[in-house]
Structure 1
Amino acid sequence: MTKPHAPRNPIHTAHRLRLLVTSDLHMHLRPRDLLTGAEEARGLLALAGPIEAARAAGHATLLLDNGDFLQGTPMGEWHNRDGRAHPHPLIATMNALGFDASTLGNHEFDYGTEYLAEVLDQADFPILNCNLDITPALPTRPSLIVERDIGGVPLRIGITGTVPQRIMVWSRHLLKGRAMVTPPEQAVVEEAARLRAAGADLVICLAHAGIVPPGHPEEDSENGALRIAQTGAVDALICGHQHLSFPGDFLHDGAGIDATRGTLAGCPAIMPGWAGEVLGQLDLHLVHEAGAWRVTDHSARLIPCDPAAVPPALARLSDRAEEATTARLSKPLSHFPAPLETGFALVEDCTAMRLIHAAQIWALDLLLPQDAAGPRLSSVAAFRTGGRAGPDGFTRVPAGPLSLRAVADLYPYENGFTAVEVTGAVLRDWLEMSAGALSQLTPGQPRPLLRPGAPGFNFDMIAGVTYRIDLGHPAAFDLSGVQVAERGRVQELSYQGQPVTDDQRFIVATNSYRAAGGGRFPHLADQREVIATDRATASLLAAFLEAHPDGPPVPDRGWSLTAPPGAQALFDGDRTLSPRFSYPRAEMTGTRDGFGQWVFTF
């Protein structure tokens, strides 16, 4: 996988090329939660110390980012909406740190391609992508070759990058008719060949892709890092997207995935978590002999961030952004008499979700064409249910005044507001797929509430109808949307007290991600969109609250969980809450890693 290069002085001893990598920063810049003000062990600034220390070892070094840097915190939203006249705070920090290259992730497109182009133009480092063809073009390039001197001999390093194919689903409302995505492994093979023909000794791929074994349903759409490695086209692979760490205690091992050595199909690989919690360091051990550089071994480590080592001069680059973001979040909108919390959103029809339902029904009335007919429903999911976001990754808005801080907590993503027309049959499958995020329960066999691999945001709740989810029944669909059992987990589905029939028609408010089939929900991508707007659901939620300054109305509870008597579900949940429901019976038996260990008994 290396190309001969004529040396000035032959080198037979081992040398190192050190790759320092970040991925999925998601606008986590400072080691502080902008919603709560709490200090956090994360953020790009908290990696400044580890970056400096790793560079000081004296090895030839590259500092690389693997995408999904632009969206994820209120500071990103501030810059998009109010701060575009100012330098982008994260890009300015990356410039100051001396990043050598980055690639695009799927969330780079959340604010639209015009804004993305504006921000990328501010980068002093190249943005690389070889598998996206888009009109008008973004300020990216397929690849580049950088040179480092090792022992007096030049090492020419080719670098390229890829985005997941599934952006054409997730960002369909922005990219349809304007973009085409080539399978990453195909594009990398072609680009690597061009780089080697241009004189590259090594090729590194910044793949915004996760790691799954062969045959996994996400292998060909968003988590195809192993496929890239299997081509043999690259010498090292930087992975991401899953917000996980590799090597180490990883979800998958075997079948070409070596989570101990840190290889994919024998190719050195690393995935540096997310949010700047760790810095990835991948050292390629090299020898130069017979006129060519060759990788003989590698070593990988994940270095924890150091919030205490933030250089003041670097922090000053984002002072204005932090002050402006804090002021924006404090803008008063409304008032609500009860807390808004998502700690139990997967077991009860909680007030927080019903508030978002109310906003979406209000938006339907505002935006639907006058001739639009059919009952109006709303579908939402809780975005903050712990999991990979950690033990404080729950919405906790106290009773009282509601500000934009509450909106950012309730709806942290820039999904576009969308409405689709569906039949009763599609509505039932929608709910069956949603209910499939939860485990089947039987008495005497406690199981995790969420099925392994199921994100909490795939548990959609639909308001305007009533229904019951029977967890004693097997899930009708697997997590990839394939039917594996008879429907029947969703029971007593009714509209205004009458059973929903297969041929009834409904208009359902949702978001652009789900309407395009995001989450692998069956049938949804084929439904007629009656509203497709660039307006973000979060902005409509804020407008709804402003329209009801004395307190917005919320719909009644519409769904419930049941299971065979004595069945138990386990959940690593919010340690700070007390349940306000009596069924299922909830008990916190202890804490682990900051989570409350909850047992729900039916």
Structure 2
Amino acid sequence: MRLLATSDLHAHILPWDDLADRPAPDRGLAQVASLIAQARAEVPGSLLLDNGDFLNGSPLSDHATEVAEQDRSHRHPMIAGMNRLGYDAATLGNHELSNGLGHLRRALSQAEFPVVATNLDRINPADGKRRAYLPRQILLHRVLTDQHGQQHRLVIGVLGFLPPQTALWERRHMAGTLAARGILAAARAEVPRLRRAGADLVIALSHSGLGDGVCEDADENVSAALSALDGIDAVIAGHTHQAFPGEGGGRPARPLVMPGFFGSHLGVIDLSLDHDGSGWRVAGHRTEVRPVSRRRGPQGLVEALVQTDAAIAASAAEDLAAMRAQAAIPVGECAVALHSYFALIGHSPVQTLLAEAQMRNMRRALNGKPEAALPMLVAVAPFKAGGRGGPGNYTAIPPGPLTARNIADLYIHPNSPVALRITGRELADWLERSVSLFNRIAPGTEDSPLIDPDFPAYNFDMIHGLTFRIDLSQPARFDCLGRQVNPASRRVTGMSRLGRPVAPDEEFVLVTNSYRSSGGAGFAGTEPARVVLEQARHLRRILQDHVAQTGRVAPTGAADWGFAPMPGTTVTFDTAPGAAELAKDIAGLEVMGLQPTGFLRFRLRL
């Protein structure tokens, strides 16, 4: 039996980058659809499964959400495409809840495939008891043909899991209504029920990263540990936007694939089944991920390996045309290039613009409140800074007119602003969590990699309004998951505001976003009691209003932080090829050359 899987599609249908408005042959449901057709044709029987985060996360899905608010009968283009492909089952990812439960209900009502959510519960407000929000398990009855042409009836049980942290990240939508249980505990409870219900095989759709195989039940990334549970025959993993087999992770206990993101790969698990007289068992397996594109040549150029599926592309054509017309609406102008090429080394006009917009908005919102007398700071992280998204995953907007598309590119998530009351001590901890992005650098060494590739750039919060230095000779206090590994370490030095040192007990208003204030990535001082004000408006709308009201924005690039000097020491830093012409603005940078990955490598003198 063959299992085919997608994950983290994020409503990308065409091989096109809608934010940068350029071809992107490395993505799209219409691309992976060709691989699905090919893989189905190779075997007599298969299942097509999606592992979550399919509904939200692109300009197309944002447009669909807005239209559905006015027209409840509007067909969601991603659901339409998945219906056309004939998915057998899917589960939810954390981002399925990002636009609210009403939007999710409307979209799922259009699905012609079952959606399972094993560890997501509805809370009864009357008695506080938990009940299933969606089916906790499903049984798929299929007839499969063996190598001798004989047909067999199989019952395949499917479970689906999302990270339990979703209850924190989406607190504004879930509080008092939904709750998420630990993945491993939910699986241990449900697998025996599935077997008793007649399941010959059990497949786990796990919207969770691999993890290290030794996990606590409440951990975010537990798919490797899940594969070791008795009664589970295969696992589809996701959430961390990786491809497996192929990107680390060791050897899971049972068949497991992680099929990339945005439709970059199709996961394939082939199970050889034997019947021992009492039931079916997995006698052997083969796993692979098939890519829709590849990089070639010394510059790492991307070329498609498949043809675009015309029927899938046509199913979204009307929505895409309307979205693009809306994206072209002018908003304002910018006097400088807006780019995120150097956001991780302290030079990003994008971050400055976002901080200015949030500062202006929150000052108005807090006017007349006691907290208005406190110093205000803004925490901003880069959403597009390369990493697993590749060398195309940067913002790069030339000087001139700004459109609604540019605003969406500058702020890609549906977050809202939140003001926290926080102390100087907690600010220092907040920064230590952020600067764990950097590898430890030994003084006097040459060309050591600066960035820890496992650390997500969206957790690199820099606090605008503070001046400080980062001592890279010290070990990181936190690991990439936010776990404290060196409690005594201090990389952040000389933290000051307006030339005056920040005292540990000094109080501030820190403006952040709803994801961070809900506990996203485990930053200090984000408890609900610290919230001074939470606004419902999306930060993207606040940014758009700021640009429109200003007319012509001109944010500076240089930040008020930097690295502590380390004479005779150099590090390497990868960014997009388009950064070469802008590097002259940054002291100590030297171009080293293009890499096979498509990134441009720089040397930075510390």
Asked if Structure 1 and Structure 2 have the same fold, meaning a TM-score greater than 0.5 normalized by the shorter chain, the answer is yes
Q: What is the aligned partner in structure 1 of residue 421 from structure 2?
A: 421
CA distance in 2, matches of 1:105, 1:419: 27
Aligned to 1:43: 28
Structure 1's 35 and 477: CA in aligned 2 closer, same or farther, altered over 3 A?
Answer: closer
Q: Is the 8 A contact 1:358 1:555 kept in 2?
A: no
Of 334-343 and 517-526, deviating more is 517-526
Superposed displacement of residue 427, structure 1: 0.9
- Residue 107 (str. 1) matches residue 95 (str. 2): yes
Aligned partner of 2:138 among 138, 141, 144: 144
- The farther-off stretch of 451-460 and 363-372 is 363-372
Partner amino acid, structure 2, of 1:294:
R
Aligned in 2, Cα 1:523/1:483: closer, same or farther, shift over 3 Å? farther
8 A Cα contact 1:382 1:459, kept in partner: yes
Between stretches 194-203 and 132-141, larger displacement belongs to: 132-141
Per mean C-alpha deviation after superposition, the further-off stretch among 526-535 and 100-109 is 526-535
Amino acid at match of 2:16: R
Q: Which moved more, 1:367-376 or 1:338-347?
A: 367-376
Per the alignment, residue 258 of structure 2 pairs with 271
Aligned to 1:490: 492
Q: Encode CA deviations 1:565-584: one digit per residue, 9 max, x unaligned.
A: 12212122111113143433
Given the superposition, is the C-alpha separation of residues 526 and 599 from structure 1 closer, same or farther in structure 2, using an over 3 Å criterion? Answer: farther
| 1:77 aligned residue | 62
Counterpart-to-counterpart distance in 1, 2:54 and 2:269 = 20
* Equivalent residues of 2:352, 2:555 under 8 A apart: no
Contact 1:281–1:301 (8 Å) recurs in 2: yes
Deviation of 1:585 (Å): 2.8
Inter-CA distance 74–409: structure 2 relative to 1 (3 Å threshold): same
What is the match of residue 167 of structure 1? Answer: 166
Report percent identity of matched pairs.
35
Q: Root-mean-square deviation (CA), in Å?
A: 2.1
Corresponding residue number in structure 2 for 1:93: 81
For 1:322 and 1:454, locate their aligned partners in 2 and report how far apart those are by CA, in whole Å. Answer: 33
| Counterparts in 2 of 1:452 and 1:112: CA distance versus 1, 3 Å | same
Distance, in Å, in 2 between the alignment partners of 1:120 and 1:244 is 26
Q: Is the 8 A contact 1:573 1:597 kept in 2?
A: yes
The answer on whether the counterparts of 1:45 and 1:307 sit within 8 Å (CA) in structure 2 is no
The structure-2 alpha-carbon separation of the partners of 1:107 and 1:58, relative to structure 1 and needing over 3 Å to count, comes to: same
> How far apart are the structure 1 equivalents of 2:532 and 2:274?
61
Partner letter of residue 50 of structure 1? L
User: Which residue number corresponds to residue 301 of structure 1?
Assistant: 288
The answer (yes or no) to whether the contact 1:48–1:309 under 8 Å persists in 2 is no
Moved more, 156-165 or 33-42: 33-42
- Whether 1:453 aligns to 2:454 is yes
- The C-alpha deviation readout for 1:489-514, integer Å capped at 9, x for no partner, is 22222222211111111111111121
Structure 1 residues without counterparts, runs of 5 or longer: 1-16, 259-263
Q: TM-score, normalised by structure 2?
A: 0.90
Q: What is the correspondence of 1:46-445 to structure 2 with a 5 Å cutoff?
A: 46-84=31-69, 85=71, 86-135=74-123, 140-150=134-144, 151-215=150-214, 220-248=218-246, 250-253=247-250, 258=251, 264-265=252-253, 267-305=254-292, 308-368=306-366, 370-373=368-371, 374-441=374-441, 442-445=443-446
Contact 2:121/2:132 (CA < 8 Å) preserved in 1? no
Is the 8 Å Cα contact of residues 188 and 233 (structure 1) preserved in structure 2? no
In the alignment, the residues of structure 2 paired with residue 291 and residue 526 of structure 1 have an alpha-carbon distance, to the nearest angstrom, of 54
- Helix, strand or coil for the counterpart of 1:82? helix
Per-residue deviation, 1:487: 4.9
Aligned equivalent of 1:596, options 578, 593, 600: 600
Letter matched to residue 236 of structure 1: A
How much has 1:37 moved relative to structure 2?
Answer: 3.0
Distance 1:275-1:411 versus aligned 2 partners, 3 A rule: same
Q: Deviations over 1:33-86 (max 9, x none)?
A: 112332222111112222112212242211100001122211111111235532
Residue in structure 2 matched with residue 530 of structure 1 by the alignment: 532
Q: Tell me how far apart the structure 2 counterparts of residues 276 and 227 of structure 1 sit (CA, whole Å).
A: 25
Counterpart residue type for residue 160 of structure 1: L
Deviations 1:65-124 (Å, cap 9, x if unpaired)? 000112221111111123553211110000011001100001111111111111111111
Quick one: distance in 2 between partners of 1:587 and 1:194? 59
Cα distance in 2 for residues equivalent to 1:585 and 1:552: 24
- Cα distance in 2 for partners of 1:233, 1:167 equals 26
- Is the CA contact (8 Å cut-off) linking 1:481 and 1:522 kept in structure 2? no
SS in structure 1 opposite 2:593?
Answer: strand
SS in 2 for 1:579: helix
Q: Deviations over 1:216-274 (max 9, x none)?
A: 6x8742111122222212111111111111123x3232xxxx1xxxxx22x11111111
User: What is aligned with 1:10?
Assistant: none
| Distance in 2 separating the partners of 1:389 and 1:219 | 29
* Cα-to-partner distance string for 1:393-432 (whole Å, 9 max, x where unaligned): 1110111111111112111111222111101111111112
SS of the counterpart of 2:344?
Answer: coil
Q: Which moved more, 1:448-457 or 1:25-34?
A: 448-457
CA distance in 2, matches of 1:424, 1:483: 22
> What is the match of residue 471 of structure 2?
470
Say if 2:348 and 2:558, in contact at 8 Å, map to a contact too. Answer: no
The letter of the residue matching 2:473 is G
Distance 1:414 1:138 in 2: 26
Distance 1:594 1:232, change over 3 A: same
Is contact 2:338–2:350 with CA below 8 Å preserved after alignment? Answer: yes
The 8 Å contact of residues 517 and 523 in structure 1, kept in 2 or not, is answered as: no
- Range with bigger deviation, 529-538 or 387-396: 529-538
Distance 1:49 1:556, change over 3 A: closer
Q: Which amino acid aligns with 1:209?
A: S
Alpha-carbon separation, structure 2, partners of 1:308 and 1:234: 33
Contact between 1:282 and 1:299, CA under 8 Å: does it hold in 2? yes
Q: How far apart are residue 562 of structure 1 and its match?
A: 2.7
Aligned equivalents of 2:218, 2:565: Cα separation in 1:
36
SS at match of 2:552: coil
Kindly indicate whether residue 591 of structure 2 is the aligned counterpart of residue 587 of structure 1. yes
Per-residue Cα deviation, 1:304-328 (whole angstroms, up to 9, x for no partner): 2267533333322101111111112
What do residues 436-469 of structure 1 show as CA deviations (whole Å, max 9, x unaligned)?
A: 2112222224322112421112211111222222
Long gaps (5+) in structure 2: 125-130, 145-149, 293-303
Q: Is the 8 A contact 2:336 2:555 kept in 1?
A: no
Distance 1:215 1:570, change over 3 A: farther
The 1:431–1:205 alpha-carbon spacing in structure 2 relative to 1, beyond 3 Å, is same
User: What whole-Å deviation, never above 9, does each CA across 1:179-233 have from its counterpart, x for those lacking one?
Assistant: 22221112122222112111111111111111121446x8742111122222212
- How has the CA–CA distance of structure 1 residues 347 and 270 changed in structure 2, closer, same or farther, with 3 Å as cutoff? same
Q: CA separation in 2, counterparts of 1:369 and 1:282?
A: 58
Whole-Å separation in 2 of the counterparts to 1:386 and 1:413? 16
- TM-score of the superposed pair, with normalisation by structure 1: 0.91
Residue 455 and residue 556 in structure 1: after superposition, are their counterparts in 2 closer, same or farther (change >3 A)?
Answer: closer
220-229 or 515-524, larger mean C-alpha shift = 515-524
- Among 495, 509, 512, the alignment partner of 1:510 is 512
C-alpha separation between the residues in 1 aligned to 2:364 and 2:118?
41
Q: Quickly say closer, same or farther: Cα 1:555–1:580, change in 2 above 3 A.
A: closer
Moved more, 404-413 or 584-593: 584-593
Compared CA separation, residues 307 and 332, structure 1 to 2 (3 A): farther
Amino acid at match of 1:428: A
Q: From the superposition, tell whether residues 497 and 187 of structure 1 become closer, same or farther in structure 2 (CA, over 3 Å).
A: same
Deviates more, 1:201-210 or 1:298-307: 298-307
